[in-house]
Amino acid sequence: MAGLRGRALVAYLLVCTVWGSTYLAIRIGVQDLPPLLFAGVRFAIAGAILGAIVLAMGDHLPRSARDWRVHAVTGLLLLLGGNAVVVWAEQFVESGPASVFVAA
C-alpha cells in the first residue's frame, strides 16, 4: 500500500509541475511564434506522442467515420474555444494571472 501511495504522490507532483509550467511555456512561446501557430505545433506534437503511446500499448485509434467526427468536433471546440483564447491572451497578460483566470 505504501508503494502505491508513493507512486500516486509522484504522479500528482509530476502532473502539478507539468500543468503549472504550461502557462509559463505559453508566455515564452508566444514571444517567438504567432500564438495560434505555437498552439498548433504544441498540440500536433502532443497528439503524435499520445497516438504513438496508444499504438504501442496495443490499443487502436477510432475506426468509424462517426467516431472521428465526434473526436474532431470535441477537439476543435476544446482547443479553439479554450486553449487558443488563452494562448492569444498571453501576448498581453502575464502567465500568473492567466493561470489564475483559467483556474477560476
pTM value? 0.69
- The alpha carbon dihedral of 5, 8, 10, 13 has a sign of negative
Q: Are 23 and 90 in contact (CB under 8 A)?
A: yes
The predicted-structure confidence for 46-67, as pLDDT tens digits, reads as follows 889 988 999 999 988 888 999 9
The residues of the chain scoring below 70 in pLDDT are 1-2
Q: Please report the pLDDT score of residue 49 as a whole number.
A: 94
